């Protein structure tokens, strides 16, 4: 029998009990624990996708981007190689590049090479090791560039740690914006506007609507790398929160929700089972799922309408010949 869903108030008390008991967890771990306890305690169950990206998850995602089935990364890189000079011209004399969710920053070098007036690069990412390695590599490759990495959740950044962003360009690649609901995307774009300031530009990678025979394999590859990436969330709970998930009794599921226009990722229980996290027990029925990620697909007009809701003006769009992926340049009045 499945565990009865707790109320919002009860979930707050659950999270508070272990915290007040002197858990000794860091602020970051406390946020993770709150999200896991609350997410497993509700129906339907869900855990925010940002927690997929610990160091192990970030490394696995880099492996995903190199898969034959995963078209977004190579398509976006091709767009940057082909249209980089034009993007730079349209963006204007950019002096500061602020990248949201930078990861390994493989694509960033292509943009940096195109931005001839660039002086400062500020990558923001939750994975400190990936951020440090990427920052060091880009600093080696671009000796005159000042690299100022920021560790943190890019959706919540309120300032640039006192760094003055002169003539800024925001960069949000990989269609990561598709992981956000439409309302979350508008909130992110609005926050980014405040962070970058009036008159700033924003370059965003956006995955486009396409057939399921291309979409589904991109999120459920034959080698099982994407499955390992998803299941690492359960392993992270075990490592960091004393969980006892048996990852062999859960499976990665990638489904398309046509009404919402998005891929939905789940971890599905393969048996009736009970797991424990921080002293809390959660019963799973066979087939019950934990929702871990969305990946919205947009039409060009659909994304431009979303950007306008957050006060950004669409300026230019670049797409590949197969209309798999798009780069949108926005401007803040």
51 within a domain of the structure (yes/no):
no
> Does residue 175 fall inside a structural domain?
yes
Query: Tell me, what's the pLDDT at 17?
Result: 47
Residues 152, 252 within the same domain? no
Domain coverage including residue 136 = 71-210+297-331
Peptide bond into 116 cis (omega under 30): no
Which bin fits 112, alpha (ψ -120 to 50), beta or left (φ > 0)? alpha
In a domain, 236, yes or no: yes
Residue 116 confidence (pLDDT) = 92
> Are 169 and 311 in the same domain?
yes
Q: Is residue 322 part of a domain?
A: yes
Distances (CA, A) of 308 to 90, 193, 294, 315, 331: 19, 12, 22, 11, 10
Same domain as 183, residue 117: yes
What does the pLDDT look like over 34-58, one tens digit per residue? 999 999 999 999 999 989 989 899 8
Whether 18 has a pLDDT exceeding 90, the answer reads: no
Assess whether pLDDT exceeds 90 at residue 179. Answer: yes
pLDDT > 50? residue 199: yes
Please give the pLDDT value at position 11.
Answer: 37
Regarding whether 185 and 308 lie in a shared domain, the answer is yes
Shared domain for 79 and 185, answered yes or no, is yes
Whether 35 is covered by a domain: the verdict is yes
Reported as a single tens digit per residue, the pLDDT across 58-82 is 899 999 999 999 999 999 999 999 9
How many domains does one find in the chain?
Answer: 2
pLDDT digits 0-9 by tens, 259-281: 999 999 999 999 999 999 999 99
Residue 88: its pLDDT value, please? 96
**Same domain for 312 and 175?**
yes
Residues 302 and 290 in one domain: no
pLDDT at residue 217, as a whole number: 98
More confident residue, 28 or 165: 28
Let me know if residue 64 belongs to a domain: no
Does 155 reside within a domain?
A: yes
CATH code for the domain of 132: 3.40.50.150
Q: In terms of domains, do 186 and 255 share one?
A: no
Same domain, 102 and 190: yes
Q: Does residue 159 carry a pLDDT above 80? A: no
- Looking at the structure, tell me whether residues 265 and 123 fall in a common domain: no
User: Do residues 191 and 85 both lie within one domain?
Assistant: yes
Angle of helix 8-20 versus helix 27-41 axis, rounded to 10: 140
Please report which confidence band the pLDDT of residue 23 belongs to, taking 50, 70 and 90 as the band edges. low
Residues 265 and 124 in one domain: no
């Amino acid at each position: 029998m499945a565990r009865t869903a707790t109320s919002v108030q009860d979930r707050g008390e659950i999270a508070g009990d272990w915290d007040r008991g002197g858990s000794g967890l860091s602020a970051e771990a406390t946020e993770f624990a709150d999200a896991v306890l609350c997410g497993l305690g509700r129906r339907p169950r869900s855990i925010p996708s940002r927690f997929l990206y610990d160091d192990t998850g970030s490394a696995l995602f880099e492996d995903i981007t190199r898969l034959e089935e995963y078209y977004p990364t190579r398509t976006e890189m091709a767009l940057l190689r082909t249209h980089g000079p034009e993007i730079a011209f349209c963006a204007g004399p950019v002096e500061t590049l602020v990248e949201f969710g930078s990861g390994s920053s493989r694509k960033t070098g292509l943009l940096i090479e195109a931005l001839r007036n660039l002086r400062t690069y500020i990558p923001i990412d939750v994975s400190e090791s990936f951020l440090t390695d990427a920052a060091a590599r880009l600093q080696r490759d671009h000796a005159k560039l000042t690299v100022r990495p920021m560790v943190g959740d890019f959706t919540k950044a309120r300032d640039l740690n006192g760094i003055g962003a002169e003539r800024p360009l925001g960069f949000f690649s990989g269609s990561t914006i598709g992981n956000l609901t439409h309302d979350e995307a508008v909130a992110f774009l609005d926050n980014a506007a405040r962070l970058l300031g009036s008159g700033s530009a924003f370059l965003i990678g956006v995955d486009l609507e396409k057939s399921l025979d291309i979409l589904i394999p991109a999120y459920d590859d034959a080698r099982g790398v994407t499955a390992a990436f998803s299941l690492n969330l359960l392993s992270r709970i075990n490592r960091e929160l004393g969980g006892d998930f048996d990852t062999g009794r859960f499976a990665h599921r990638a489904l398309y929700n046509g009404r919402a226009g998005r891929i939905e990722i789940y971890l599905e229980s393969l048996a009736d089972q009970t797991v424990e996290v921080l002293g809390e027990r959660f019963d799973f029925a066979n087939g019950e799922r934990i929702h871990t990620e969305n990946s919205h697909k947009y039409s060009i007009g659909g994304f431009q309408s979303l950007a306008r809701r957050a006060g950004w003006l669409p300026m230019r769009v670049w797409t590949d010949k197969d209309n798999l992926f798009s780069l949108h340049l926005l401007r803040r009045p």
